[in-house]
A and B are shown apart, each in its own frame.
Chain A
Amino acid sequence: MNAEKIQLYAETLLKGAGFTISITVVTFIFAVLIGLTFGAIKAYGGQGKISSSNSVRELMIIISKKTAIYLINIYIEVFRGLPSLAVLFILYFGLANAGFRLEPFTAAVLGLSLIGGATLTDVFRSGFKAIHVGQREAALAVGMTPFGAFREIILPQSWRITLPPLANYAIGLLKETAVVSAIAAPEIMFYARNLVTKTFDTEIIYMLVAVLYFCLSFPLARLADRFERQARVGEK
């Protein structure tokens, strides 16, 4: 149990940390994009009722919007009910068998983004829904386009509600990337398992891994706490 050994282990694990961080960041971006888009569709696409006064064009628009929301809801249910390991195995081993060979990084980002998008859709939707409808109506009344109203009026106000769960999602995502080692992506856990099979210093190595993950997530946790405190300021 000497310091040199521990230093060697730490250096090896840090090589994986870069990969862990890049998977986390790229997945986070994709998951936010999915969540924002689907969240906005779910929050605003459900308007409009089918009545006899609708023209055919209006009817088509309403029906396609409702279908979109229906499909999004199925997507959410499916990806919130599946373990990430199952999704990754389908994408990596299943697709490879069917002839589409994905890189571990691609499979990991794709799988985790789909799962994350399902979580974040409802986060964004409830954020948008929490903004009073009058805000949007006023923006439309002064001549803003629906997209303009969304970008300039709704989105900036909704951050207060969506930032705390977003930060918590980022922490959960960072932890979840450990699973990716099961499809041979060279991240922290992957290096740890390699080290263990070479040196048999099991407990020290996994302890170091725990410390490393903790250090990576600690700043995020502080950020999440700060967002939560800020979100509560206006409430009382």
Chain B
Amino acid sequence: MIDFLAVYGENWDNWGPQIYSAIWFTLGLTITSYILAVAFGMVIAFGSMSNSKILRWMSKGYVEFTRGVPTLVLLFLIYFGLPSVGIVFDAFWAGVIGLTLSMAGYISEVLRTGFQAIHPGQREAALAVGMTPLKSFRYIMLPLAIRIILAPMLNMLILLLKDSSLCALISAPELMLTAKDIASSTFLPMHLYLLVGVIYLGLSLPMSFVARRVEARMTRH
């Protein structure tokens, strides 16, 4: 056990800088994708609740599509497939686009169920007292829905963090790939994969802790 841990001490000067920059890359990837996925998911959620049949149909179709196609396939299509039709993304943006596309469908479902759980009378009342649809959304719907969607939205962030490891396979220099590179040059796979495992846990455990607290708080009433 001591021998096992000593390896980290001996190599930390060498591994540390690479691991640090990989952590930042992973966080950048996760947060950028999350922001875009929430924005896109919002659009899809509104589409699936709109009065237009075409919009509803398109949103439904999109959710079905992302529900059935693995994230890895999307990433490969974007990173390896699109260049052959002349569209080239670097690994970071290919990762962001792939993760956004695959996550937006799930996020839209979270948002949709959140908004649909609110009694339609709330919105009607807001419109009846003269609020614009935008205002009724901003001041009435959103504050009411937030307590339903906050915990699942945090869980989506954890899911996204874990999914960002898939970008290792499209050569984005994030945690998993950095570990793989160091492991293949030092022949210490167990040390490195355990190390990234611990780092992923260190990033996701606080989030899941917060999510659980939020959930307990929001469902109290």
- A: residues with CB less than 8 A from B are 77-78, 80-87, 89-90, 93-98, 171, 175-179, 181-182, 189, 192-193, 196, 200, 202-203, 206-207, 209-210, 213-214, 216-218, 221
Contacts and interface: CB of A to CB of B under 8 A. Distances in A.
B71 A90 contact: no
B193 interface: yes
> How would you classify the secondary structure of chain B's contact residues: helix, strand, loop or mixed?
helix
Interface of B: 64-65, 67-74, 76-77, 80-85, 158, 161-166, 168-169, 176, 179-180, 183, 187-190, 193-194, 196-197, 200-201, 204-205, 208
10 contacts: A82-B162, A85-B165, A86-B176, A96-B189, A178-B73, A202-B81, A203-B81, A206-B80, A213-B68, A213-B70
A84 to B, nearest CB: 7
B54 to A, nearest CB: 21
Contacts of A83: 161-166, 176, 200
A80 B200 CA distance: 10
A80 B208 contact: yes
A84 B73 CA distance: 16
Nearest to A217: B68
Contacts of A192: 76
Contacts of B196: 86
B193 A206 contact: no
B188 A81 contact: no
Contacts of B197: 82, 86-87, 90
A214 B72 contact: no
B73 A97 contact: no
Nearest to B155: A80
A87 B190 CA distance: 11
Contacts of A95: 190
B4 to A, nearest CB: 10
B85 A176 contact: no
Nearest to A204: B81
Contacts of B183: 93
Nearest to A88: B193
A179 B72 contact: yes
Closest 9 A/B residue pairs (Cβ): A94-B190, A83-B165, A203-B81, A81-B204, A178-B70, A214-B68, A175-B70, A217-B68, A93-B189
